[in-house]
Every structure is written in C-alpha cells, then in structure tokens.
Amino acid sequence: MHRHRIGPLTIFLRKLLNEIWVASSRDEKRKGEPDNLPDKPEWVRMALPGEFRVIRLAPVLPDRPVVIDTEHAYRFMSQTRTKVYSRIPAFVRITPASREDLIIAEIPSVVLSETWFGIFTEGELSYSLSSTARRILTDDLLEPYLVVCPMEIRNNSSDELKFEKVCLRADRLSIYAKDNALWADETVITYNGMDSETHMEMKGVVPGEAAGASLVSRPRSPVKRSMGLKTFKLLRDFHIPGF
C-alpha cells in the first residue's frame, strides 16, 4: 500500500492485479508525514482495462465554479483596474501514468462548502472559498496544494462597480507548477456596466509571476478565450426577502 500526503489530504493506494483501491483521510492539524490508514477505511475499488504499474497523481481545479470572497467589500471607480490573487485548494486526480484519460478518482484536498451563485429560480451550484482574494501575495501563502489564481478586474463602465464576491470559472483554467507552488492562468474580468455582460477572458498562458512554470494539467472544459458571463454577485439578489 502506498500513502501520499497533499496538504491536509492523505491518499492510500493499493494495487491488486488490474484493480486499484483508493481511500483517503484528512487531517488539517498535522503537516508533513502521511496519516495512518484509518481503522475503517472507505476503499473505492476500480477495475482497469489492463495492468498499470505507474499511477499518476496530478492537481486539477475543482469541477464547479468557485465563488471567492474579496478581502473586504470592494468598490471600483469607473475605468479602474486591479489585480487580486485567490488560492483554490486543488483536487487530486489519480490516473495511470500512461493513460491519463482513465480517471480512477478525483479527491478534493480540502472539502469545500457549497454555495449558490444566482437567484432563487436559476443559477449555478458552486464551491465557496472561505479564504479571501488578496491584493498582495507573499511566499508564505504559497502551499503545494493551493492553486494561485491571479485575476485582473477591469471596470470599463461609467458606473462604480460594487462587489463582494466573484465567481471564477475554475473548470476553464490550466495549472502550472514552479518551485513547489501551483499557478492557474490569469483571468481578466471586464465589467461593462449593469446592462452589458461581464467578459471573462482566460489568458491560457503562464502568469507573469510564475514565468518558466511547466504545465501540469489542462482545463476540464475547452477554453473559450472570452465569455460573457454573470461573474459578480449582485447584492440585491439575495437581499430581497428570501424567506
């Protein structure tokens, strides 16, 4: 049996003929060494179409959009641009090294809370990130299981932009690795006013802060360079009597 620790997550792997057994545990207090196998591990058995000797564990971004809190309620004046960083806990994708299309399991390194991004009658089930979006990123905030997502926010409208949360389409981002840190490609979010769509552009290249980083995983969904999407949470949505 093999044990691997990724942040608070320990993954246990066992191989039996063409079967892979996967179990996991989390311990946010301890660091370093992998956990011991729990007393009653919940093994998931997966039969593979052949015997694979090498198994690959790769970080991927969550399978749903991630709603990120800004550090404080932000107000952007007209024609202002700013850059914020958020850190999203990676999921660990387990595949045979030679067949990355055979996904054995995907385990979140941190169990993220769910949230709703939209109105009562329509919207998207998303993950909520309790860690806030920051203006300044220091080395001590880089962890090998947290993917740093740089976002440039541009207010191209003539109005003031107020927002508390931003919905990041994580499934359209790649992950790059450099010096024990994980980076996603930069996202440029352009706000064009209440009556126009907000444009989200994934640059699809290594962000400047991580120049020379190597690609470790591609986006889950095909990258559309520019999308018109609902990105900023409109405060009035949930503050009408939702009771």
Q: Which residues contact other proteins by CB under 8 A?
A: 67, 111-117, 120-123, 125, 128, 165, 233, 238, 242-243
Pair of tokens at residue 195? 């009556």
Cβ neighbours of residue 210 under 8 Å, at least 6 residues apart?
A: 148, 176, 178, 181, 183
The total of other beta-carbon atoms located within 10 Å of residue 66's CB is 24
The identity of residue 102, as a single letter, is L
Comparison of 163 and 183: residue with beta carbon closer to other proteins: 163
Residues 21 and 15 sit within 8 Å (Cβ to Cβ): yes
Closer residue to other proteins (CB): 8 or 207? 8
Find residue 201's DSSP bridge partners.
188, 226
Q: How far is the CB of 108 from other proteins (least distance, A)?
A: 10
Taking the least distance from each CB to other proteins, the nearer of 176 and 232 is 232
Give whichever of 43 and 120 is closer to other proteins, judged by the CB atom.
120
CB of residue 26 to other proteins, shortest distance in Å: 12
Which single residue is written with the structure tokens 């089930």?
Answer: 125
* Least distance in angstroms from the C-beta of 183 to other proteins: 26
Strand extents, DSSP E, 77-219: 80-89, 91-96, 105-108, 113-118, 123-133, 146-155, 161-168, 175-178, 181-184, 187-191, 198-202, 214-217
Q: Whole-number minimum distance, CB 88 to other proteins, in Å? A: 15
CB of 165 to other proteins, least distance (A): 8
Closer to other proteins by CB, 20 or 112: give it: 112
Nearer to other proteins, 115 or 217 (CB): 115
The distance of closest approach from Cβ of residue 163 to other proteins in the complex, given in angstroms and rounded to an integer, is 13
Please give the Cα distance from 103 to 57 (Å, whole number): 10
